[in-house]
């Protein structure tokens, strides 16, 4: 019997339950789309790496002394003599030397194809017979002035076979003729530029050297051939099997995709969390509207458990429908994400059991858990209540709610503080748990907070708009629990968006302060991508009239005390002035073996001026450097400064990332002269203090925009919740609305009343959320003050805009409920029980 009751209730409340299902659909779509997308990309890359190295039995490469060289572009080169040695090993077949390095192609618009700063890699290679990419048109390059590029880059750059273009490497730009096009398959949008082997060695590596040597097997197993090859290699080289090579590549991609999956799932869980409030609120209102009906069921013999199961059955049905539609929507989201991957996203989606299982598990479990407490309250209705007209659901004491909400908020704040303080372990766990606790705690306290806040928010409407304004405020205050639950969904989304925006504004203000305090140079000439400022360009900058000095700066990675660390290498005398370094002890480095570090590094390591520090470089050599000076923290230079001579001594192709330029004046003419000097190098740009700030702000703004877009899903779900609450509220107040119409309230006034009520609820949620977001942002800034976020900045203009957006959400959410209320038949509404 109760099964039929469940089905009848579903049929009777189709619109309301469909709106509830929307919250499930959106949350599940995020989860399913993320899982489908990452499964698809993992399979694509597995196939890619299998195809790339399927014929490789053994690969010879330099041993990695210092980490951070996963791409192999800065590994120590292998002499061609090793290739000749390997050819003599029994079982080796078709050994080939590969050359890999940085190369970028310039399109017809004079710009580098791709986005060198943050985009996919720009790879230069030698075209060999075993290349993983296929020559689709034209021919292989022959000689120093011919090049082959990938089809996607040719299309982006407007290039075709026979065109002459610039190719950017670590040396001077090369004018080359495009003689062929290759299909690179799914390479994540990477630009591939291929030369003949001698040209590739000259431009990318070093004449007579290879990046690695691959070979097939003439019979022995991979392991046996590896051991034979390893026996004839120098100590600085190693041999690995093709299987190990493929597993390494797949592991690296799996790690990246795993991080991406976790990142997106966090936002999916936020959407689901917001949806849980909507589901809870909807079922609470549905149960409240059917109080007498449920009491009658109890009166004719239905047990409490049966009533609970009936309501839970509705939740299961909503969960199944929402999960099914969410799964379909997730496939669309995955396709959209796949399309953003360019060539890497070609092909259909990969469907596995994982997204299906998780979609239904998440959708059904969240819906059932959210509906459980309303179902329990429904079961507690006494049968005798069916005989009363004023029956209402039992409500828990607000004192218990206040105590529990206060406790959860305090515990959550404590966990956030502990996580931000770095008390050990993964800080994301306590911070995430703490944020969850704070949100639930504030949501529990919201009914108490809503009364005074809504009185203030509703005062202008009550005073200026007469009866509709007063009624709207009274309706919003009538059921604080319901209003709070509706506003809580919007609160969560806007709290997180506000936190991101406060953090972004803080980052911008902190970067501006750092540049003002730490950048003392006149100009920087900096490179986009890995090509650096080539020697020819350096000379042109130095010869520019008005330039007093132009000093190159490098960066690299070494091993100190067994740990991989980064450093900057530059003329200390120039950098001390250009970066306004405050030397607290010792002096500026003057010799090749001198080292400078910041105070934190010296303190952590127990170093003092004069200490000897063993430093191991990527070429395997170890130098004993002397600590010449200690300086205050510098975010521009970092914690370690080496001499450029030492860097060049141990680096195969020293690449100048930036040049610090001092000039006799800093005006538009001087900057124009510098820009003219580097105009022939598309990868170089001239920057001053203002442009450095602008570039940094642009990167921060992109980061903030990206996170905000991901969080908008939760705001959309919250808007659905406001619609749902208002729609159910209109149905609940049918008789009241009829009486208002009967005593002279016009349809226009009625619609205005409902719109104002919606706006008040939305703005209340926004005020609460933005308040929490500002608090979270301030806490993050305080915790990260020593990491460069020294200036707290609150974007008041953005917050005012969000408040306006919340009001607009309120207006839009009220459109359908207000239209429905205005169309009610007065006599039928009055006669409604």
For 99, list phi and psi in degrees, rounded to 5.
Answer: -125, 130
Which of 29-33, 161-165, 248-252, 574-578 shows the highest mean pLDDT? 161-165
Hunting for tokens 């075993």 — which residue is that?
A: 130
CA gap 122, 113 in Å, rounded: 9
Mean pLDDT of all residues in 33-37: 86
Residue 395 has pLDDT above 60, yes or no: no
Contact, 781 vs 741, CB < 8 A? no
Please give the pLDDT value at position 88.
93
pLDDT tens figures, 560-572:
988 999 999 999 9
Please give the pLDDT value at position 138.
93
Domain assignments of the chain as residue spans, ordered by start: 1-57+241-389, 58-240, 395-518+690-833, 523-687
pLDDT tens figures, 611-635:
999 999 988 899 999 999 999 998 8
Which residues are CB-neighbours of 251 under 8 A, at least 6 positions away? none
Residues β-bridged to residue 614: 624
Can you give the pTM of this predicted structure? 0.80
In this structure, what DSSP letter does residue 236 have? Answer: T
Please give the pLDDT value at position 508.
92
pLDDT tens figures, 781-813:
888 887 778 889 999 999 999 999 999 988 988
The helix or strand, by DSSP H or E, that contains position 469, with its residue range, turns out to be: helix 467-478
Range list of H helices, 519-615: 535-542, 572-578, 599-605
- For β-strands 684-687 and 658-663, DSSP reports them as unpaired
Please give the pLDDT value at position 801.
93
Please give the pLDDT value at position 583.
94
| pLDDT confidence tier of residue 649, bands split at 50, 70 and 90 | very high
Report the 10 Å Cβ neighbour count for 281: 27
Please give the pLDDT value at position 6.
60
Residue 495 has pLDDT above 60, yes or no: yes
Report the 10 Å Cβ neighbour count for 459: 12
Please give the pLDDT value at position 194.
94
Select from 617, 641, 638 the least CA-distant residue to 629.
641
Residue 117 has pLDDT above 70, yes or no: no
Mean pLDDT of all residues in 659-682: 92
Residue 269 has pLDDT above 80, yes or no: yes
Please give the pLDDT value at position 146.
96
Ranking 150-159, 228-237, 418-427 by mean pLDDT, the lowest is 418-427
Residue 329 has pLDDT above 70, yes or no: yes
Mean pLDDT of all residues in 342-346: 53
| pLDDT confidence tier of residue 72, bands split at 50, 70 and 90 | very low
Residue 116 has pLDDT above 60, yes or no: no
Please give the pLDDT value at position 435.
86
| pLDDT confidence tier of residue 69, bands split at 50, 70 and 90 | very low
CA gap 520, 514 in Å, rounded: 11
User: What does the mean pLDDT of the chain come to?
Assistant: 85
Torsion, CA 479, CA 481, CA 483, CA 485, rounded to 10: -160
Which of 60-74, 168-182, 334-348, 478-492 shows the highest mean pLDDT? 168-182
Select from 32, 554, 590, 536 the least CA-distant residue to 334.
32
Contact, 546 vs 666, CB < 8 A? no
Select from 502, 501, 500, 496 the least CA-distant residue to 717.
496
| pLDDT confidence tier of residue 716, bands split at 50, 70 and 90 | confident
Please give the pLDDT value at position 786.
76
In this structure, what DSSP letter does residue 188 have? Answer: T
Reading the block at residue 535, the tokens are 């020697």
> Hey, is 486 helix, strand or coil?
helix
Residue 542 has pLDDT above 90, yes or no: yes
CA gap 817, 723 in Å, rounded: 7
Reading the block at residue 263, the tokens are 């990142």
CA gap 592, 646 in Å, rounded: 6
Please give the pLDDT value at position 404.
87
- For β-strands 92-98 and 547-560, DSSP reports them as unpaired
Residue 826 has pLDDT above 50, yes or no: yes
> Hey, is 274 helix, strand or coil?
helix
CB under 8 A, 24+ apart: contacts of 739-743: 739/829, 739/830, 740/471, 741/824, 741/826, 741/829, 742/826, 742/830
Percentage of the chain lying above the pLDDT 90 cut: 34
Please give the pLDDT value at position 342.
54
CA gap 240, 814 in Å, rounded: 66
Residue 103 has pLDDT above 70, yes or no: yes
Residue 387 has pLDDT above 70, yes or no: no
| pLDDT confidence tier of residue 68, bands split at 50, 70 and 90 | low
> Hey, is 823 helix, strand or coil?
coil
Mean pLDDT of all residues in 824-832: 75
Reading the block at residue 804, the tokens are 């306006």
> Hey, is 700 helix, strand or coil?
helix
Mean pLDDT of all residues in 334-361: 76
Report the 10 Å Cβ neighbour count for 206: 14
Which residues are CB-neighbours of 446 under 8 A, at least 6 positions away? 480, 484, 485, 487, 488, 491, 768
The helix or strand, by DSSP H or E, that contains position 230, with its residue range, turns out to be: helix 222-230
> Hey, is 679 helix, strand or coil?
coil
More reliable by pLDDT, 115 or 239:
239
Please give the pLDDT value at position 285.
72
| pLDDT confidence tier of residue 821, bands split at 50, 70 and 90 | confident
Please give the pLDDT value at position 391.
47
Hunting for tokens 């950098």 — which residue is that?
A: 575
| pLDDT confidence tier of residue 186, bands split at 50, 70 and 90 | low
Please give the pLDDT value at position 726.
81
CA gap 437, 492 in Å, rounded: 12
């Amino acid at each position: 019997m109760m099964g039929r009751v469940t089905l009848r209730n579903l049929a009777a409340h189709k619109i309301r339950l469909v709106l509830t299902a929307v919250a499930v659909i959106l949350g599940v779509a995020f989860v399913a789309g993320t899982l489908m997308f990452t499964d698809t990309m993992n399979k694509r890359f597995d196939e890619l790496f299998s195809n790339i190295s399927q014929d490789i039995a053994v690969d010879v490469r330099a041993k990695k002394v210092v980490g951070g060289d996963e791409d192999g572009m800065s590994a120590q080169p292998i002499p061609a003599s090793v290739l000749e040695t390997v050819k003599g090993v029994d079982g080796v077949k078709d050994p080939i030397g590969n050359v890999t390095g940085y190369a970028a192609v310039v399109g017809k618009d004079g710009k580098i194809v791709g986005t060198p700063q943050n985009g996919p890699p720009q790879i230069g290679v030698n075209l060999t017979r075993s290349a993983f990419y296929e020559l689709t048109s034209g021919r292989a390059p022959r000689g120093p002035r011919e090049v082959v590029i990938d089809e996607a880059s040719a299309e982006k750059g407007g290039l075709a076979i026979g065109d002459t273009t610039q190719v950017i490497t670590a040396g001077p730009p090369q004018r080359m003729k495009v003689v062929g096009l290759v299909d690179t398959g799914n390479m994540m949008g990477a630009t591939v530029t291929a030369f003949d082997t001698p040209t590739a060695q000259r431009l990318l590596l070093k004449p007579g050297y290879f990046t690695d040597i691959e070979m097939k097997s003439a019979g022995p197993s991979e392991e046996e051939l590896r051991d034979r090859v390893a026996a004839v290699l120098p100590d600085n080289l190693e041999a690995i099997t093709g299987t190990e090579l493929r597993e390494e590549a797949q592991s690296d991609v799996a790690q990246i995709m795993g991080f991406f999956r976790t990142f997106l799932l966090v936002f999916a869980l936020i959407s689901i969390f917001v949806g849980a409030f909507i589901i809870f609120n909807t079922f609470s209102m549905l149960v409240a509207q059917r109080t007498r009906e449920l009491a009658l069921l109890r009166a004719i013999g239905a047990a409490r458990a049966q009533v609970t199961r009936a309501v839970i059955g509705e939740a299961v049905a909503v969960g199944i429908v929402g999960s099914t539609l969410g799964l379909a929507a997730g496939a669309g989201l995955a396709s959209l994400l796949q399309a953003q991957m360019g060539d890497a996203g070609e092909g259909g989606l990969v469907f596995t059991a994982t997204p299906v299982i998780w979609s239904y598990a998440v959708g059904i479990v969240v819906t059932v858990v959210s509906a459980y407490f309303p179902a329990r309250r429904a079961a507690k209705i006494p049968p005798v209540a069916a005989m009363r007209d004023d029956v209402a659901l039992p409500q828990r004491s607000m004192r218990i709610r206040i105590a529990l909400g206060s406790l959860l908020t305090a515990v959550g704040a404590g966990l956030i503080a502990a996580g931000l303080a770095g008390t050990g372990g993964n800080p994301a766990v306590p911070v995430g748990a703490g944020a969850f606790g704070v949100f639930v705690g504030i949501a529990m306290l919201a009914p108490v907070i809503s009364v005074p806040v809504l009185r203030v928010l509703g005062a202008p409407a009550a005073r200026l708009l007469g009866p509709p304004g007063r009624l709207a405020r009274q309706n919003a205050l009538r059921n604080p629990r319901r209003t709070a639950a509706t506003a809580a969904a919007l609160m969560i989304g806007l709290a997180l968006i506000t936190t991101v925006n406060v953090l972004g504004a803080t980052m911008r203000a902190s970067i501006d302060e750092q540049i003002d305090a730490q950048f003392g140079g006149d100009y920087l000439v900096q490179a986009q991508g890995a090509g650096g400022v080539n020697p020819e360009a350096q000379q042109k900058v130095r010869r520019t009239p008005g330039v007093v000095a132009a000093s190159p700066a490098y960066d690299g990675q070494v091993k100190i005390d067994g740990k991989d660390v980064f450093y900057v290498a530059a003329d200390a005398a120039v950098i001390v002035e250009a970066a306004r370094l405050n030397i607290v002890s010792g002096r500026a480095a003057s010799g090749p073996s001198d080292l400078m570090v910041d105070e934190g590094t010296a303190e952590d390591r127990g170093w003092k001026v004069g200490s000897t520090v063993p430093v191991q470089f990527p070429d395997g050599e170890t130098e004993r450097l002397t600590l010449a000076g200690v300086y205050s923290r510098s975010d521009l230079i970092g914690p370690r400064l080496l001499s450029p001579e030492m860097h060049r001594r141990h680096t195969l192709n020293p690449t100048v990332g930036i040049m610090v330029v001092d000039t006799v004046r800093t005006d538009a003419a001087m900057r124009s002269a510098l820009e003219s000097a580097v105009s022939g190098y598309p990868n170089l740009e001239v920057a001053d203090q203002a442009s450095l700030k602008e570039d940094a702000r642009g990167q921060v703004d992109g980061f903030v925009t990206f996170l905000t877009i991901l969080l908008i899903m939760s705001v959309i779900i919250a808007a659905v919740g406001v619609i749902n609450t208002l729609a159910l509220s209109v149905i609940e107040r049918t008789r009241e609305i009829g009486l208002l119409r009967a005593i002279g309230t016009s349809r226009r006034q009625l619609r205005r009343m409902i719109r104002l009520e919606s706006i008040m609820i939305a703005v209340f949620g926004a005020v609460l959320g933005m308040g929490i977001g500002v608090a979270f942002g301030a806490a993050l800034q305080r915790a990260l003050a020593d990491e460069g976020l020294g200036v707290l900045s609150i974007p008041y203009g953005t917050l005012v805009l969000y408040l306006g957006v919340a009001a607009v959400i309120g207006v839009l959410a009220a459109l359908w409920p207000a239209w429905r209320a205005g169309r009610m038949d007065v006599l039928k509404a009055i006669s409604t029980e």
